[in-house]
Structure 1
Amino acid sequence: MKTSIRPKTLCLSLASLPLASLCLLTPCGPLYAADWQYQLQAGAASLPRYSGSDERTVAPILGGEIVSPYGVFLNTEQGLGWGNEWGDLAFSTWVGPSAARKDRKSGYKGSDHLAGMGSIKSRAQFGAHLGYTLGAVELGATLQHALKKNDDPDTGSAYNHLQLSIGSTLYEGRFGRLEGSLNSQFGDGDYLRTWYGVSTAQAGRTRFGAYSPKGGFLSRGGDLTWTVPVSEQMNVSTVLAVQYLGREAADSPIVERRMQTALATTLEYSF
């Protein structure tokens, strides 16, 4: 019996980009495990220093995953979870760390442009994914709920994020496999205010004017994933992801560029 874990993602663990995954959540095909399965990832990504930034950084990608034949998985991106499939329907749920953002430049993380905004620290996050295969097309919905971190209303609030996606394999042959997907993302008021808002207190510490976005549409975008097998156990994956911020996010004074792009390449070893 095959067990569907959840849509496989190219895991970047990029705290500076809450649209994660590329914290833009690039969906690929489902990952199956007929027995215990292990995977290691290593690579690099070029991406904005935070969602809305016009500064770029090159960040390392290091990750690992363990998948059991019972549907339980543990990985460095999502955390601990469980998933299964029933015909064309797949479901998974997990608990792990949320994204984070530094308000100063530290290596490949954070940006000095955000000085005075306060850092958004990672907190426990619950996630759930529902997928349905309709012929050659995969439909997906991913909901994430980050718990309250502290009493700071600017950086510590609980929030919710939803992504709706549609994807398909565009090519599979001697040159590997090319997959593409389109997505729309939504956030509640606390999500938009945490990542794109500027409170009166933050405005007093920075050069930004106060801004309080409403919840709702966050962004729309898409990605292309090209996977080339090197051997039976090793392959190279390259992802190009694009996100176009919606008006509520784009009107934020911290946003310098509405169109966000990321390019990542990883070497994946499974055993």
Structure 2
Amino acid sequence: MLSLRALPRFALACLLALTSSIAAAQTMPAAGAEPSDWSIAVGPSVYVAPKYPGAKSSFVFPWIDQEIEYKHRYFSKGMDFLGAYLANDDTWQVGGNFQFDPTWRHVHDDARLNGLGNVNATVRAKAFAQYTVSFLTLSTDAEQDILGNRQGLIANADVYASAPLGRWLFSLGSGVSWTNGQYMRTFFGVNGGQSAASGLPVFATHAGVRDIHFNAIVTCKLDDRWTANGSLTVARLRGDAADSPITQRRQQTTAMASLTYRFR
């Protein structure tokens, strides 16, 4: 189980694994040779997110951003660390992957959490489908906690429009996130025992829409090797997530910035 203290070690392990892959594949093909089966870009990034779902404060941690593909079939991208496409072309991207989810809640994050118990970060199994026509992209995915950390199932549906402008690519869109009962109970519910220990009122939750969100993504190709990336998601909690006594702020903001170097 991963915690905040374990993140730097986890990121370092990811970096070492990526470095090994790059060392094995980074030799550029000779002139006239067949194009490489590999596409590899790696670099430092910083990730900003609420301390826990519904928190009013945020935490910041360094990460390794990577965009690795092999034969347009297998990939590792960002926190989607191992995946495969069933379809991957200019119109459809369909597949599945394993994803690190850096969402947790520890009692030391806020005095109000005393008695609620810790929730550890997890790994999710994710299935996704994305359809692009002209400048418009529709996407959906479902992500299930597979480590037994009580983080349940999250399903997302998004639509966004993209516009290239010279070396820049801008994407704007919006979407909705639904979560199952286990996820809602873990992060927003308060049972009798937790209520007695924390002083918060008992609060029953149900599966439903967790948030409606707005996404902004920008990419700048600095040259043939270097690319700067940034993303911002502003979400508004809804339903039980918004009404929970654990929730301190209904608006939740997540951001990422990275600089990657393309080896091939």
TM tier, smaller = 0.7 to 0.9
Q: 1:87 deviation in Å?
A: 6.3
Structure 2 counterpart of 1:157, from 150, 172, 178 = 150
CA–CA distance in 2 between the matches of 1:175 and 1:119?
44
- Equivalent in the alignment of 1:249: 241
- Equivalent in the alignment of 2:7: none
CA–CA distance in 2 between the matches of 1:158 and 1:225?
26
Pick the structure with more helix per residue: 2
Letter in 1 for 2:161: S
TM-score (norm 1): 0.76
**Secondary structure at 1:51's aligned position in 2?**
coil
Letter in 2 for 1:240: L
**CA separation of 1:234/1:240 partners in 2, compared to 1, >3 Å: closer, same or farther?**
same
Q: 1:57 deviation in Å?
A: 2.7
Question: Is 1:226–1:239's contact at 8 Å kept on the other side of the alignment?
Answer: yes
CA–CA distance in 1 between the matches of 2:151 and 2:230?
33
Q: 1:54 deviation in Å?
A: 1.0
Query: 1:68-107 maps to which residues of 2 (within 5 A)?
Result: 68-75=70-77, 77-83=79-85, 84-85=87-88, 88-105=91-108
**Secondary structure at 1:95's aligned position in 2?**
strand
1:207 paired with 2:199, answer yes
Letter in 1 for 2:56: D
CA–CA distance in 2 between the matches of 1:119 and 1:64?
30
**CA separation of 1:115/1:67 partners in 2, compared to 1, >3 Å: closer, same or farther?**
farther
Letter in 2 for 1:143: A
**C-alpha RMSD over aligned residues:** 2.6
Residues 136-171 of structure 1 show CA distances to partners (whole Å, capped at 9, x for unaligned) of 21111111111362xxxxxx43621100010121x3
Q: 1:69 deviation in Å?
A: 0.7
Q: 1:181 deviation in Å?
A: 1.8
Residues 44-67 of structure 1 show CA distances to partners (whole Å, capped at 9, x for unaligned) of 244321221111333323333432
- Equivalent in the alignment of 2:232: 240
Residues 11-59 of structure 1 show CA distances to partners (whole Å, capped at 9, x for unaligned) of xx997xxxxxxxxxxxxxxxxx972122223132443212211113333
Query: 1:17-96 maps to which residues of 2 (within 5 A)?
Result: 35-75=37-77, 77-83=79-85, 84-85=87-88, 88-96=91-99
Letter in 1 for 2:52: Y
CA–CA distance in 1 between the matches of 2:117 and 2:142?
26
CA–CA distance in 2 between the matches of 1:199 and 1:141?
32
- Equivalent in the alignment of 1:194: 186
**Secondary structure at 2:97's aligned position in 1?**
strand
CA–CA distance in 2 between the matches of 1:216 and 1:40?
37
**Secondary structure at 2:93's aligned position in 1?**
strand
CA–CA distance in 1 between the matches of 2:3 and 2:48?
11
- Equivalent in the alignment of 2:11: none
**CA separation of 1:174/1:76 partners in 2, compared to 1, >3 Å: closer, same or farther?**
closer
Question: Is 1:36–1:66's contact at 8 Å kept on the other side of the alignment?
Answer: yes
TM-score (norm 2): 0.78
Q: 1:128 deviation in Å?
A: 0.5
**Higher Cα Rg: structure 1 or 2?**
2
CA–CA distance in 1 between the matches of 2:72 and 2:132?
21
Residues 160-202 of structure 1 show CA distances to partners (whole Å, capped at 9, x for unaligned) of 1100010121x32236111112110101111111121112222
User: Percent identity at matched positions?
Assistant: 19
CA–CA distance in 2 between the matches of 1:232 and 1:45?
25
CA–CA distance in 1 between the matches of 2:137 and 2:174?
11
**CA separation of 1:57/1:86 partners in 2, compared to 1, >3 Å: closer, same or farther?**
closer
Which range moved further: 71-80 or 245-254?
A: 71-80
**Secondary structure at 1:225's aligned position in 2?**
strand
CA–CA distance in 1 between the matches of 2:256 and 2:151?
29
Question: Is 2:65–2:258's contact at 8 Å kept on the other side of the alignment?
Answer: no
- Equivalent in the alignment of 1:185: 177
Unaligned runs of 5+ in 2: 5-34
Query: 1:6-25 maps to which residues of 2 (within 5 A)?
Result: none
**Secondary structure at 1:50's aligned position in 2?**
coil
Question: Is 1:42–1:268's contact at 8 Å kept on the other side of the alignment?
Answer: yes
Unaligned runs of 5+ in 1: 1-12, 16-32, 150-155
